[in-house]
Structure 1
Amino acid sequence: MELLCLEVDNIIRASPDPNLLYDDRVLQSLLTIEERFIPQYSYFKCVQRDIQPYMRRMVATWMLEVCEEQKCEEEVFPLAMNYLDRYLSVQATKKCHLQLLGAVCMFLASKLKETRPLTAEKLCIYTDNSIKTQELLEWELVVLGKLKWNLAAVTPNDFIEHIVRKLPLPKDKLALVRKHAQTFIALCATEFNFALYPPSMIATGSVAAAICGLQLDSVDQALRGDNLTDQLAKITNTEVDCLKSCQEQIERVLVSSLRESRVGRKGQEEQDQSSTPTDVRDVNLQ
């Protein structure tokens, strides 16, 4: 008798659960607990002495590149940055350990969100073998302890579906709006200023920026200007002025990122998969 195996190389993703997406109690629960998972202050002022904001940004950019190259779920990178910020807010860390911490946070986030998590060996390769597998596994327990094993953090991605389903968006544009909003969320995760914002505000601002960027406000009167802002503010109980400010900051980050990307493409040679960006190595060596 032959056994038929249904396993394929393609990774099967879970489908959205309508029982969760269409129950407003889920959204209200997320709004209630979201502040438990964000730093309450700038840890650069009162906890970290060796690490500077630009170092966090370098490591965050490297982490984003790893997640993109490994085709991780969209939730992995923002969740990993949440772990990194929460750890740095309670534990003084040497700059030579920052990339190791970033690798550990990706390791943990991928375990929670991925069907096939990133392996310790692969993450070590992405650091140009500057860290060892055993070192990463030891730090995994340290980070888990500091996070009190509370890994199911609320991130901006958790709000996207709840927000877009309440807007009068064309069905053929829903996937595009989600993709653009997730891109904005990832960009926000690289900037420390957004680490102190409620995830719901970042998600709402990202959706607003996505709709405006795609010029969908020309499709429906309800998606134009103040109408859109008022709707989004009501969905997540966000102050209108705060939402507008957040959206403007997100758009500025996008412009800055595109400018840096153009400059980087002019002078940067292609790097091998196993290499670590020079600026991240500089953080380790400074």
Structure 2
Amino acid sequence: MELLCVEGGPRVPRAERDPQLLGDRRVLQNLLSQEERYSPRVSYFHCVQKEIKPFMRKMLAFWMLEDCEVLVLEKLKWDLVSVIANDFLAHILYRLPLPTDKVELVKKHAQTFIALCATDYTFAMYPPSMIATGSIGAAIHGLSVSANSFSGEALTELLASITGTEVDCLKACQEQIEAALAESLKQASQSQQEYSSRKTPDYPASQNGSMTSTPTDVTDVNL
């Protein structure tokens, strides 16, 4: 009997992605139809959970992203089948003409963007598919990855066609994601400067004596 996992080598044995599922348009269409059932209403925090204020949502999102949350849900036997942005990544990337050696890198950065969107309540108005598509677009743009003859406007149109998204809406989402990254890096830089200014002379800035700096470009971010 053939095993579905990859054995041998230093990697942890994992099942390979089934190209039949990734290439079948019906699977992606099912995800797109299901996401509408589970997308929270923008007015939810105004009508239902009023005690959750905008400044508290980032902390709440971080807590929900923790592994312990998944463990608690498993122990409680709660079956959460909601469609999330990460569910779309493999299907979208499979349909993009990206270099094989760049797919995992783009995916890794896209996952980081998705996590960033989860901590910002301004992205609550976007469905998971648009956040996934915008995150991939932002990752490709930030990494300057070539997708054959697709670039700029053509790439955005291709991404929009994959998930049936309006091009203008996708552009707005991607620009907002890139702006959120810039703001996050800015805040990290300010925090680093404040921390450095409070440091005492007894503690060097780094092991080699030089001052560390916060990356200002997505390619410099160590994920």
Q: TM-score range by the shorter chain?
A: 0.7 to 0.9
Partners of 2:171 and 2:72 in 1: how far apart?
33
Percent of paired sites with the same residue: 53
Partners of 1:266 and 1:108 in 2: how far apart?
38
Q: Deviations over 1:211-251 (max 9, x none)?
A: 1001124x6321x1110011011100000000000000100
Partners of 1:63 and 1:159 in 2: how far apart?
20
2:175 aligns with one of 248, 254, 257: 248
Relative to structure 1, the CA distance from residue 256 to residue 106 in structure 2 (aligned partners, 3 Å threshold; closer, same or farther) is farther
Once the two structures are TM-superposed, the CA of residue 34 in structure 1 deviates from its matched residue by: 0.8
Relative to structure 1, the CA distance from residue 257 to residue 62 in structure 2 (aligned partners, 3 Å threshold; closer, same or farther) is farther
1:185 aligns with one of 86, 90, 114: 114
Relative to structure 1, the CA distance from residue 268 to residue 203 in structure 2 (aligned partners, 3 Å threshold; closer, same or farther) is same
Structure 2 spans left out of the alignment, 5+ residues: 1-6, 197-223
Q: Deviations over 1:28-80 (max 9, x none)?
A: 1111111111112322211223220111112323555x55xxxxxxxxxxxxx
Partners of 2:12 and 2:70 in 1: how far apart?
19
Q: Partner of 1:260: helix, strand, or coil?
A: helix
Once the two structures are TM-superposed, the CA of residue 161 in structure 1 deviates from its matched residue by: 1.1
- Aligned pair 1:165/2:94, yes or no? yes
Structure 1 spans left out of the alignment, 5+ residues: 1-5, 68-102, 112-136, 270-286
Q: Partner of 1:216: helix, strand, or coil?
A: coil
Partners of 2:36 and 2:64 in 1: how far apart?
24
Alignment match, 2:132: 203
Which one has a larger percent helix, Structure 1 or Structure 2? 1
- Asked if 1 retains the 8 angstrom alpha-carbon contact of 2:138 and 2:174, the reply is yes
Amino acid at match of 1:52: K
Alignment match, 1:134: none
Alignment match, 1:216: 145
RMSD, matched Cα: 2.6
Alignment match, 2:35: 34
Partners of 2:145 and 2:32 in 1: how far apart?
27
Once the two structures are TM-superposed, the CA of residue 262 in structure 1 deviates from its matched residue by: 2.2
Amino acid at match of 1:256: E
Q: Deviations over 1:247-274 (max 9, x none)?
A: 00100111111112223344569xxxxx
Partners of 1:15 and 1:265 in 2: how far apart?
41
Alignment match, 2:47: 46
Alignment match, 1:107: 71
Once the two structures are TM-superposed, the CA of residue 181 in structure 1 deviates from its matched residue by: 0.7
Q: Deviations over 1:61-110 (max 9, x none)?
A: 3555x55xxxxxxxxxxxxxxxxxxxxxxxxxxxxxxxxxxx6x44356x
Alignment match, 2:103: 174
TM-score of the two chains, using structure 1 as the length reference: 0.59
Partners of 1:15 and 1:268 in 2: how far apart?
44
Structure having greater relative contact order (Cα 8 Å, sep ≥ 6):
1
Once the two structures are TM-superposed, the CA of residue 152 in structure 1 deviates from its matched residue by: 1.5
Partners of 1:233 and 1:179 in 2: how far apart?
20
Partners of 1:267 and 1:108 in 2: how far apart?
37
Relative to structure 1, the CA distance from residue 40 to residue 60 in structure 2 (aligned partners, 3 Å threshold; closer, same or farther) is closer
Amino acid at match of 1:160: L
Q: Partner of 2:36: helix, strand, or coil?
A: helix
- Asked if 1 retains the 8 angstrom alpha-carbon contact of 2:156 and 2:167, the reply is yes
Number of positions where the alignment pairs a residue of Structure 1 with one of Structure 2: 188
